[in-house]
A = this chain, B = another copy of it.
Amino acid sequence: MPEHAVKFPGNLQRLNTMQNDHKDNSAARVVGDLKQDILQGYFAPGEKLAMARLKTRYNVGVSPLREALSQLLIEQLVVVENQRGFRVHPISKEEMLDIYQTRARIEALCVGLAVDQGDDEWEARILAAAHKMQKFSTSMESDPQEWERRHHDFHSAIVAGCHSPTLLGVRRSLYEKASRYRNLWLTDNMQQTDFFDANRKEHDQLIDALLRRDRETACKLIEHHLLSPSKALLESQTIPEKTV
């Protein structure tokens, strides 16, 4: 009943969820849904995840729930206290900065490798993804979910060129952790036309560097590109300095 409005975009997890609906066990489905709810802020950072509430929300028993929570525990999206149940992993500017900086460095690593290893197919996919993102830049405010999806696809197309599943797995994990903060920022202030203009310019520069195989410049650009939201987030009043 207390169905909070799901405010903002997320990632492509929803797609997985859809697939999981019929196959797999119910724990896997809950993992996807619960992850969504945490990343998008339905459950606030630090909030208690009472079993009774989760049970009604996802229509499952405690066993699948505990399995799902156990997985999110490793991904550091929830924390568990001795016998006091689960809570959403708390947030802090300290952790936010660490995640964003690490993510920027990892992404730069991916981009560097991709520049060295990427082939024609790689270039083609980047341009295709960039085009789809470009086409949607006007409808950004009407459907932020779809825009975020295309934006994500664009960056994924770039790093895919590194051909390292392990490294890409690390990257995905960091992206998810960061998306909690990003969604928080989007709820804070949505109308950021100037920001998105700068964003688009950076994309153009990045594509240029990639196609020129200018590794140095590409890495610098992507690192700056991923770091800029963290600067805005530092001003946020809703994020505590350190973990409470």
Contacts and interface: CB of A to CB of B under 8 A. Distances in A.
A82 B71 CA distance: 17
A221 interface: no
A138 interface: no
Interface residues of A, number: 32
Interface in A1-60: 23-25, 27
A177 B27 CA distance: 24
Q: Taking the full assembly, how many copies of this chain does it contain?
A: 2
Given A67-B66, A74-B74, A102 B167 contact: yes
Interface string A164-206: 1111011000100100000000000000000000000000000
B66 A166 contact: no
Contact of A164 (B63, B74, B75, B98): B98
Contacts of A105: 109, 167
Contacts of A98: 164-167
Interface of A: 23-25, 27, 63, 66-68, 70-71, 73-76, 82-83, 95, 98-99, 101-102, 105-106, 109, 164-167, 169-170, 174, 177
